[in-house]
Chains A and B, each alone.
Chain A
Amino acid sequence: MTDIVFPGVALGGLLPALIVLGTAGLVLLLDLAPPRDTKTHLGGIALGGIVAALLVAVTRWGTEQRSFRDMVLLDNYALFFDLVICYAAALVVMLSMDYLGRTGGESGEYYGLVLFATAGMMLMVSAGDLIVVFLSLELMSLSLYVLAGLFKTRLASGEASLKYFLLGAFASSFLLYGIALIYGATGSTSLDRIAASPAAKNADPLVLAGLGLMLVGFGFKISSVPFHMWAPDVYQGAPTTITSFIATGSKAAAFAALIRVLVVALRGAQADWSALLWGIAALTMTVGNVVALAQSNLKRMLAYSSIAHVGYMLMGLVAGGAPGAGAILFYLLAYTFTTVGAFGAIGLCARAGEEAVEVGDYAGLARRHPVLALTLTLFMLSLVGIPPLAGFVAKFYLFGSAVQAGYLWLTVIAVLNSAIAAYYYLRVIVYMYMREPEGEGLSVAPSLAGGLALTIALVGLVLLGLMPAPFADLAQAAVTPLLR
């Protein structure tokens, strides 16, 4: 019997996530400190922590650190996602600062939970082991379950939280069962060792069963059809800032883990998962877009639209290789800029004391608030994929990778889907610019932090659209560690 060897403790590989976790603890402590009227200062501290983690991630670029026996990998791939996640988290915190005050949901633990979720996401993208994937997924999910139910007095918020929790727990167990099967077949949970095992190389039936179950779990987190049912209800009921975090951060993290698991550990079964994902991608984008056509609630509409975008992103996995994976990363970056911005703009609008979420609420917005209307228009156009905005270039890379890999028909389905999608995104513009308001008009909360967040998102949108080359190179550099 061999002795149990404890791996050396090398916290450097955890540094970005640790900073965020430390800030979370600090925020919780300070929340207990002499009570103050508002909790905005906690938001400021949270923001500081996230920015610090972001800066650390930037300085680490180009290095690779494997710690805890390859359980945590801080490579370019993880760092790229750290940037996306920190960026999303920072915008969410900025948008939350006065959103919470306005909607009466202000509390110190809000920022703490956002930071815990962020840390979970950051661990998830560095996971080199299925156990770490599962643990970080739970850290992220549990925080988000609570955050979705932040508005304790609102029925919809409670419903969102409960649905998210029940279905999420169900999906997590699928993931765990899949991990167990793969462990049984290959004798390891480490991605590298799974990849090296004969069972994974030969696509053993047990591995395939595990793969299928894991795809259910991941499918839930990225909300791909047919595991998307929770998304509209949760997106609608959760506070808008949290909705945007679920739609971007948690999706990016789940995608990161999914890509790493499939591309690194289960490369041997690529033919199988690629065929499976072809169908899921086509189904996801079509269902998302077609159902979104019928939505009049903007948050629900964006929920279905985010489902559709997942369908597009899965195309990159189907296409495989460096171009496909790189395209997904670029797409996630563009999608994060756009989606946080769109939800943020919606979060600023209120009508008759309530959040303005019906598309009809936005009638005539262009006349009363031309700048905000223009901002929301640009976000919508980017979601449609109109050049020269980020969404177009992202789609171009993604569709290009699919065509390159020979998936012409999937690309045709995707482009036709984007044409369908134009209808419901443009409907928002129709209301803002071409209709007159009925009854009480929309009021927009003046918000410095919110305005700043939207400006950042807008700059990112235009920058990614006009000068995509450096970011695309970044995304390509990020996927190289996976494809060795």
Chain B
Amino acid sequence: MRPGLLSVVTFLPALGALALIFVPRRLAAIQRGGGLVITLVTFALSVPLWTRFEGDSADFQFEEVARWLPTLGVSYHIGVDGISLLLVLLTTVLTPLALASAWHAIEDRTKEFVITVLLLETGMLGVFVSLDLFLFFVFWEAMLIPMYLIIGVWGGGNRVYAAVKFILYTMVGSALMLVAILALYYQHGGATGIYTFDVPTLARFVLPPGQGQNLMFLAFALAFAIKVPLFPFHTWLPDAHVEAPTAGSVILAGVLLKMGTYGFLRFCLPLFPDATYEFAPLVFALAVIGIVYGALVSTVQPDLKKLVAYSSVSHLGFVMLGLFTLNQQGLVGGVIQMVNHGISTGALFLLVGMIYERRHTRLIADFGGLWAVIPAFSAVFLVVSLSSLGLPGLNGFVGEFLVLVGAFQVNPWLAAFATTGIIFAAVYLLWMYQRVIFGEVTHEENRRLTDLSLREWAVLVPLLVLIVWIGVYPSAFTGKTEATISALIAQVQSKASVALLR
């Protein structure tokens, strides 16, 4: 069988990593350059996925099926729909940028770093394209190890603690998911006689409502909620973000957290529709708490990176709110907000990393008056901050607005509480911006800072383009995903009502 485009995109980074193993260690420049070229080629190959994707179809496209473990009903089944397409592209865009940002930041063990990032990219892409629960779980678990190494080897002072915390949290979550996967497999097999891990097949199966479905939902939801992270499972996130190197933070915030929300969309909603309705109020409550709590905690952070990390908790709360509204606006908003968060927060982490490389501090109190010294940096920082807080015309607004429209239809109070999160976002981001950028230069060291280099511009410009593009013309992105989402909603509703009738 000839591998299709999607397989090539997914496995190219891993193959590149294998090739780089044979490049001698001392040729660090070739390692870096080679890694960058591989990720850029991966991106270039993923562009046809975008252009050739038919947005008005809700079917999986670029599907590939091959036998793997026929006796178990495991197959190599991959494909993308309107939801995973966006996340695949988000991954292929962010990975080269993250690698480029680490050009000078990672001097130690460059070879290992580049290889690890490449393996991580394959793992992340695999999670998004897998249409077989076994395959999905393989990628889901395998991807933990590269991220663990990135935090633990190239991280900051407390990196080992952060890395271990990260991996233990996520492994406990996914352990129970494994049991639920097996339980679902045998329940489906027992009821239909077909033992399979194929996701589209399982999604057509109407699981009887009740305790069994609820427990399976909770097992899946725990794994995903930890990854999102949904309050109160978020405590690993600030540690991991603060200790990870910039490239790690960008990928962590930009892509890894999306795996949690993607998991809810791909598995929890269609597989367990009754449980989804039953637990939606709980998720709403946790999401709104996360939105407000994350924003409040961000406000008081003295450390730039921690501030951005906690803001993720708040932003992902919006995504979760949108997904569980189970209406068109909320879900589309949630999906767009996933992409937005990846872009805006990724850019924020890049900027924080750039300033950290220059000053070796991330404390807000150590800065002030940067506009006078490095105006270009300050201007980019302004645009990205505004996009993150949801200024109309930039990307953040689109997602948050749609989510709030969706939430309002469910319960106006929900929307009202969530809106306070937007207000707080303006508070913590603008207040932070004011303290870092405006005013007098209070520290002598800051006078000698250099402005953005060509490489840094090259990293930031793609993200700025996306920020404006999504903000001004969101239908280019929503258009790809709307058909998939209406089909998903229809599926959830019909399955829930079928179960009700029995």
Residues of chain A at the chain B interface (Cβ within 8 Å): 366-367, 370, 381, 386-388, 392, 396, 399-400, 403-404, 408, 411-412, 415-416, 418-419, 422-423, 426, 429-430, 433-435, 468-469, 472-473, 476
Rounded to whole Å, the gap between the CB of A24 and the closest CB of chain B is: 39
Number of A-B contacts (CB under 8 A): 84
Contacts beyond the supplied A388-B138, A430-B164: 20 A-B pairs with Cβ under 8 Å: A366-B112, A386-B141, A387-B138, A388-B142, A399-B178, A400-B72, A400-B182, A400-B186, A403-B183, A404-B182, A408-B179, A415-B176, A418-B175, A419-B171, A419-B172, A430-B152, A433-B152, A434-B153, A473-B71, A476-B71
A386 x B142 contact (CB < 8 A): yes
7 pairs of residues in contact across A and B, judged by CB atoms under 8 Å: A386-B144, A392-B138, A415-B178, A422-B168, A422-B171, A469-B70, A472-B71
A381 x B149 contact (CB < 8 A): no
Q: Mark B30-58, 1 if CB is under 8 A from A, else 0.
A: 00000000000000000000000000000
Q: List the B side residues contacting A367 at CB < 8 Å.
A: 109
B175 x A426 contact (CB < 8 A): no
B137 x A387 contact (CB < 8 A): yes
Question: How far, in whole Å, are A362 and B60 apart by their CA atoms in the complex?
Answer: 48
Given contacts A386-B142, A416-B172, contact A430 B160 (CB under 8 A): yes
Question: How far, in whole Å, are A375 and B138 apart by their CA atoms in the complex?
Answer: 20
Q: Which of B71, B134, B148, B182 is packed against the most chain A CB atoms within 10 Å?
A: B182
If over half of B's interface residues share one DSSP class (helix, strand or loop), that class is named, otherwise mixed; here it is helix
B144 x A419 contact (CB < 8 A): no
Q: List the A side residues contacting B351 at CB < 8 Å.
A: none
Q: Is B280 at the interface (CB under 8 A from chain A)?
A: no
Q: List the A side residues contacting B160 at CB < 8 Å.
A: 430, 434-435
Q: List the A side residues contacting B186 at CB < 8 Å.
A: 400, 403-404
Rounded to whole Å, the gap between the CB of B254 and the closest CB of chain A is: 23
A399 x B182 contact (CB < 8 A): yes
Q: Is B307 at the interface (CB under 8 A from chain A)?
A: no
Q: Is B163 at the interface (CB under 8 A from chain A)?
A: yes
Q: Which of A381, A408, A415, A468 is packed against the most chain B CB atoms within 10 Å?
A: A415
Rounded to whole Å, the gap between the CB of A9 and the closest CB of chain B is: 40
Q: Is B306 at the interface (CB under 8 A from chain A)?
A: no
Residues of chain B at the chain A interface (Cβ within 8 Å): 68-72, 109, 112, 134, 137-139, 141-142, 144-145, 148-149, 152-153, 159-160, 163-164, 167-168, 171-172, 175-176, 178-179, 182-183, 185-186
Q: List the B side residues contacting A473 at CB < 8 Å.
A: 71
Q: List the A side residues contacting B178 at CB < 8 Å.
A: 396, 399, 415
B142 x A419 contact (CB < 8 A): no
Rounded to whole Å, the gap between the CB of B395 and the closest CB of chain A is: 35
Given contacts A392-B141, A426-B167, contact A412 B179 (CB under 8 A): yes
Name which residue of chain A comes closest to B74, CB basis.
A469
Q: List the B side residues contacting A381 at CB < 8 Å.
A: 145
Q: List the A side residues contacting B183 at CB < 8 Å.
A: 403, 408
User: Which of A366, A419, A434, A469 interacts with B159 by CB under 8 Å?
Assistant: A434
Given contacts A392-B138, A392-B141, A412-B176, contact A422 B182 (CB under 8 A): no
Rounded to whole Å, the gap between the CB of A472 and the closest CB of chain B is: 7
Name which residue of chain B comes closest to A388, CB basis.
B138
Question: How far, in whole Å, are A387 and B178 apart by their CA atoms in the complex?
Answer: 12
A386 x B145 contact (CB < 8 A): yes
Q: List the A side residues contacting B164 at CB < 8 Å.
A: 423, 426, 430
* Ranked 7 nearest A-B pairs via Cβ: A415-B175, A387-B138, A403-B182, A419-B172, A419-B175, A419-B171, A434-B152
Q: List the B side residues contacting A388 at CB < 8 Å.
A: 138, 142
User: Which of A370, A387, A400, A404 interacts with B142 by CB under 8 Å?
Assistant: A387
Name which residue of chain A comes closest to B177, CB basis.
A415
Q: List the A side residues contacting B138 at CB < 8 Å.
A: 387-388, 392
Rounded to whole Å, the gap between the CB of B1 and the closest CB of chain A is: 15
User: Which of B69, B145, B168 interacts with A419 by CB under 8 Å?
Assistant: B168
Name which residue of chain A comes closest to B152, CB basis.
A434
Q: List the B side residues contacting A396 at CB < 8 Å.
A: 134, 178
Question: How far, in whole Å, are A416 and B175 apart by their CA atoms in the complex?
Answer: 6
A423 x B168 contact (CB < 8 A): yes
B148 x A426 contact (CB < 8 A): yes
Question: How far, in whole Å, are A434 and B243 apart by their CA atoms in the complex?
Answer: 13
Question: How far, in whole Å, are A408 and B139 apart by their CA atoms in the complex?
Answer: 24
B179 x A399 contact (CB < 8 A): yes
Given contacts A387-B142, A388-B138, A415-B176, contact A433 B149 (CB under 8 A): yes
Q: List the A side residues contacting B68 at CB < 8 Å.
A: 469
Question: How far, in whole Å, are A415 and B222 apart by their CA atoms in the complex?
Answer: 14
Q: List the B side residues contacting A435 at CB < 8 Å.
A: 160
Rounded to whole Å, the gap between the CB of B488 and the closest CB of chain A is: 27
Question: How far, in whole Å, are A468 and B160 apart by their CA atoms in the complex?
Answer: 34
Name which residue of chain B comes closest to A384, CB basis.
B171
A415 x B179 contact (CB < 8 A): yes
Rounded to whole Å, the gap between the CB of B43 and the closest CB of chain A is: 25
Q: List the A side residues contacting B163 at CB < 8 Å.
A: 430, 434
B179 x A422 contact (CB < 8 A): no
Q: List the B side residues contacting A366 at CB < 8 Å.
A: 112
Question: How far, in whole Å, are A381 and B145 apart by their CA atoms in the complex?
Answer: 9
Question: How far, in whole Å, are A121 and B68 apart by their CA atoms in the complex?
Answer: 34
Rounded to whole Å, the gap between the CB of A412 and the closest CB of chain B is: 6
A403 x B71 contact (CB < 8 A): no
Q: List the B side residues contacting A416 at CB < 8 Å.
A: 172, 175-176
Rounded to whole Å, the gap between the CB of A321 and the closest CB of chain B is: 13
Question: How far, in whole Å, are A415 and B181 apart by their CA atoms in the complex?
Answer: 12
Name which residue of chain A comes closest to B187, CB basis.
A403
Name which residue of chain A comes closest to B189, CB basis.
A404
Q: List the B side residues contacting A415 at CB < 8 Å.
A: 175-176, 178-179
Rounded to whole Å, the gap between the CB of A287 and the closest CB of chain B is: 19
Question: How far, in whole Å, are A426 and B186 apart by their CA atoms in the complex?
Answer: 32
Q: Which of B164, B178, B185 is packed against the most chain A CB atoms within 10 Å?
A: B178
Question: How far, in whole Å, are A363 and B138 apart by their CA atoms in the complex?
Answer: 29
Name which residue of chain A comes closest to B25, CB basis.
A370
Question: How far, in whole Å, are A366 and B154 apart by their CA atoms in the complex?
Answer: 13
Given contacts A386-B141, A387-B141, A403-B182, contact A422 B167 (CB under 8 A): yes
Question: How far, in whole Å, are A139 and B323 apart by their CA atoms in the complex?
Answer: 64
Q: List the B side residues contacting A469 at CB < 8 Å.
A: 68-71
Given contacts A386-B144, A399-B179, contact A472 B172 (CB under 8 A): no
Rounded to whole Å, the gap between the CB of A393 and the closest CB of chain B is: 9
Q: Which of A367, A381, A429, A435 is packed against the most chain B CB atoms within 10 Å?
A: A429
Name which residue of chain A comes closest to B219, CB basis.
A412
Question: How far, in whole Å, are A476 and B72 apart by their CA atoms in the complex?
Answer: 12
Given contacts A387-B137, A419-B172, A468-B69, contact A411 B179 (CB under 8 A): yes
Name which residue of chain B comes closest to A465, CB basis.
B138
Question: How far, in whole Å, are A296 and B69 apart by their CA atoms in the complex?
Answer: 39
Question: How far, in whole Å, are A403 and B190 apart by their CA atoms in the complex?
Answer: 12
Q: List the A side residues contacting B142 at CB < 8 Å.
A: 386-388
